[in-house]
Amino acid sequence: MFMPIQDQTPESCCESHCARGTRRRLFLRWSLFGVGAAVLGQFGMMLAGFAWPKRLRGRDAYVSLGRIDDLRIGEVREFKFAKILLSRVPEGFLAFYGRCTHRGCTVKWEAERPSEDDLAPFGSFGCVCHGSFFDRYGQIVAGPAPRPLDVFPIRIHNGELFTSNSRITLIERTREDATAGIVSAE
């Protein structure tokens, strides 16, 4: 019925098959190891990016914040490209650096959150990392932040607001100097 071929013994057939299978397994093992290392490396980069916030880069560049009449009292406008938060209060305008004074995480305007001041019923600044909250004046309301939000000096030229997004011009405030950095619209 079945007659084995003289040239091939079962042992020699198995050896050649096992050698091919070993190379294939080795290739698959190293491929899987490489993919796993790439995924872990990407995850590590994401964690590192979260742990160390981005620094403000660039030279002393002036950013246009819009016209004086564009913002009503109590309104806030975000300029994400420059990490600037513009707030209009009854005394004038404040341009905050969008970075928390606690650990340097990003501060965002939260329009749905109940307000911490009497200018409007909703809205406050919030740190996305550790839960610090600030009112429209940049003063600390809650959380671990040690001092109010830093402000950029504002210039008014022909009815338009300008600020420099350079950290050299940044005004670091304390709890006592709540009005530092306010520029009157008149």
CATH of the domain at 86: 2.102.10.10
Handedness of CA 140, 146, 148, 150 (dihedral sign): negative
The pTM for the full model equals 0.60
φ, ψ for residue 113 (rounded to 5)? -75, 140
Whether 77 and 43 share a structural domain: no
Residue 1 lies in a domain: no
Whether 151 and 97 share a structural domain: yes
Domain count of the fold of the chain: 2
Per the CB < 8 A criterion, the answer to whether 65 and 153 are in contact is: no
Residue 126 to residues 104, 109, 129, 140, 178, Cα–Cα distance (Å): 12, 6, 9, 10, 18
pLDDT in tens, the chain (186 residues): 555 555 555 555 555 555 566 788 888 899 999 999 999 999 988 888 777 655 545 455 677 888 888 888 888 888 777 788 888 888 888 888 888 888 878 888 887 877 777 777 788 888 888 888 888 888 888 888 888 888 888 888 888 888 876 666 667 776 666 666 666 666
Domain range for 143: 62-169
Residue 38: what pLDDT?
Answer: 94
Residue 19: what pLDDT?
Answer: 56
Per the CB < 8 A criterion, the answer to whether 173 and 145 are in contact is: no
CA distance 148 to 178: 8
For residue 85, with 0-12 CB atoms within 10 Å meaning exposed, 13-18 middle and 19 or more buried, which class applies?
buried
CA distance 130 to 99: 12
Residue 182 lies in a domain: no
Residue 31: what pLDDT?
Answer: 93
Q: Which residue has tokens 């909703």? A: 122
Whether 47 and 105 share a structural domain: no
Residue 180 lies in a domain: no
Q: What is the pLDDT of residues 16-58, one digit of tens each?
A: 555 566 788 888 899 999 999 999 999 988 888 777 655 545 4
